[in-house]
């Protein structure tokens, strides 16, 4: 078994919050403030589908590959 003591610590930020249903712009604004608080973390974990609020209307909410989210 390999000794893992020399490995550096990994800083995690887990963000769990309420989402604005089908409102990506509002969610991006909300998460921008939360991401500022998590600055310095090595890994930030966001809720799945955080920008759309778990909407199933993917055709209306889809973004281009280089979209804002």
The structure's pTM equals 0.78
Residue 22 lies inside a defined structural domain of this protein: yes
Summarize pLDDT for 2-20 with one digit per residue, the tens. 776 777 889 999 999 999 9
| Residue 1 pLDDT | 66
Domain annotation covers residue 18:
yes
Q: How many domains does one find in the chain?
A: 1
Position 3 scores a pLDDT of 73
Within a domain: 57: no
Residue 17 has a pLDDT of 94
User: Residues 52-61: pLDDT tens digits?
Assistant: 988 889 899 9
Which own/partner pairs from 12-17 qualify as long-range (CB within 8 Å, at least 24 positions apart)?
A: 12/41, 12/42, 12/43, 12/44, 12/45, 13/37, 13/38, 13/41, 13/43, 13/44, 13/45, 14/45, 15/44, 15/45, 15/46, 15/47, 16/47, 17/47
């Amino acid at each position: 078994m390999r000794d893992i003591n020399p490995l550096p610590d990994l800083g995690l930020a887990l963000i769990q919050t309420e989402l604005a249903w089908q409102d990506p712009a509002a969610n991006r604004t909300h998460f921008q403030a939360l991401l500022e608080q998590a600055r310095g973390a090595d890994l930030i974990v966001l809720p799945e589908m955080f920008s759309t609020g778990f909407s199933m209307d993917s055709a209306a909410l889809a973004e281009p590959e280089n979209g804002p989210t």
